Structure 1
Amino acid sequence: MEARPTRRNALLLGLSLAAVPAAATLATRFAPAAGAAVQAVNLDDPAKKEIAMKIVCSAENSSLDWKSQYKYIEDIDDGRGYTAGIIGFCSGTHDMLELVELYKTRKSGNILAKYLPALRNVDGSDSHAGLDPNYTKDWATAAKDTVFQQCQNDERDRVYFNPAVSRGKSDGVRALGQFAYYDAIVMHGDGSDGTSFGGIRKRALTKAKPPAQGGNETTWLNAFLDARVWAMKQEEAHSDTSRVDTAQRVWLRNGNFDLNTPLDWKVYGDSYHIG
Structure 2
Amino acid sequence: MNRSLAEAYPDAHCELDFTTPLELAVATILSAQCTDRRVNEVTPALFAAYPDAAAYAGADRHELEQLIRPTGFFRNKTTSLIGLGTAVVERFDGELPSTLAELVRLPGIGRKTANVILGDAFGVPGITVDTHFGRLVQRWGWTALTDPVKIEHAIGELIPRREWTLLSHRVIFHGRRVCHSRRPACGACLLARSCPSYGVGAVDPEQAARLVKGVEAPRLLRLAGLGDDLAAEAATTAKPVEPGGPTPSETPVAPRAAEPAASAATDESGPSGAAR
Whose strand proportion is higher, 1 or 2?
Answer: 1
TM > 0.5 fold call: no
Shorter-chain TM range is under 0.3
TM-score normalised by length of structure 1: 0.27
